[in-house]
Structure 1
Amino acid sequence: MVSAVRASIISRDENWLRLRWRIEGSGKLVVPPFAGRGRADELWRTTCFELFLKPDGGEAYSEFNLSPSERWAAYDFSSHRDGMENRPAPREPDCTMRQGSSFAIFDAAIPAAALPQSDCDAGLTCVLEEEGGIKSFWALCHPQDEPDFHDPACFTARLPARTTS
């Protein structure tokens, strides 16, 4: 049974934002089969990793869904769960999943050109499905009794705008 998840921003450069999730107790984790790169909706219905970015100065935010199947999605919202539109991405994210005997690591690289270009509050989340249809919802913060990754209170990390030299 999944016992812990650690999510982190590994690095950011002029080309990529690199993220990592480490899942402890992943022996019964359901990993979606390889499907090849491409956009897909409803990735959250099984194991899926997500990044939320809310630029300073407004209610609008972006959501990136990343699957071990290599499918992905990116959306823009005008406010909390409202005004959803596909977010353009000039390149596809790169995703890899590695499993050990008691842990798994999911790495993702999102193209820098797909990201907001200002300072952002960030939320790193994941939906994990285990054998038997057991799902757990992981976030840096769960401000409500029921998980809502779109709640701005979940965006507790900070992603500064990339600077050029």
Structure 2
Amino acid sequence: MRPPSETGTAEPGEGIISDYSDYSDPVFSGPESEITVALVPHPSTPSAGRQVQVQVRRRGGVLSLEYRVTGLIAALRLPEPSGRARADGLWRTTCFEAFAGRSEGYAEYNLSPSGAWAAYGFDAYREGMAPLEQPAPIIVTRQTPETVVLTADVVLPPDADGRIGLTAVIETLDGATSYWALAHPAEKPDFHHPDSFILILPETSA
């Protein structure tokens, strides 16, 4: 469907995982827990001094996400507001994404700062792509000179298996694009790679 996406490193801090090299299955501490993780940029697309963090919470079948970008915000290319329209190709500019493993295949969610969104289901790695039935998420984007924050809730598929991938595409005004993710198992950015779905949700959640 499209390229991948990756994210910049965050300063290690309480509740923040910034390096997954020592983790095989990072987990929430409990069903009502939330966690903040740091995305890292693919080595081929440096961070340019930016950081990307994602706060994640699962409430039943709903995944609540808060993406936070810091550093050189004035140089970012952000799409103009377009309302809660479903649209393809959002990944071609600044966009935030999530992937959810399923008993067979996986789901992909695209969340644009414009308010537009997309959701797709795949039968296998980059195969059998089809629109995923999904209520239109309410996407809220807040921007300051230091930070861009996007929040959204997405509905997990009934057969979600708890494996999550979190990614971001960051484009700057000069046309440069960096790709961010929890992990980059491939030589080229590949958000669909199953080995990048390394965040494990609790089996049940309040």
Distance 1:140 1:2 in 2: 17
Counting matched residue pairs gives 158
Counterpart for residue 77 of structure 2? 30
Counterpart for residue 17 of structure 1? 63
Q: Is 1:64 aligned with 2:109?
A: yes
Distance change >3 Å, CA 79–CA 15, structure 1 → 2: closer
Structure 1 residues without counterparts, runs of 5 or longer: none
What's the TM-score once normalised by structure 2's chain length?
0.71
Bigger RCO of structures 1 and 2 (CA < 8 A, at least 6 apart): 2
Q: Is 1:109 aligned with 2:158?
A: no
Deviation at 1:35, TM superposition (A): 0.6
Distance 2:196 2:61 in 1: 26
Q: Is the Cα–Cα contact under 8 Å of residues 169 and 177 in structure 2 kept in the other structure?
A: yes
| RMSD of Structure 2 on Structure 1 (CA) | 1.8
Counterpart for residue 40 of structure 1? 87
Pick aligned residue for 2:171 from 125, 129, 153: 129
Percent identity among equivalent residues?
40
Counterpart for residue 123 of structure 2? 78
What's the TM-score once normalised by structure 1's chain length?
0.87
Structure 2 residues without counterparts, runs of 5 or longer: 1-47
Q: Is the Cα–Cα contact under 8 Å of residues 27 and 103 in structure 1 kept in the other structure?
A: no
Deviation at 1:2, TM superposition (A): 4.9
Deviation at 1:163, TM superposition (A): 4.5
Pick aligned residue for 1:92 from 136, 143, 154: 136
Distance 2:61 2:125 in 1: 29
Q: Is the Cα–Cα contact under 8 Å of residues 95 and 107 in structure 1 kept in the other structure?
A: yes
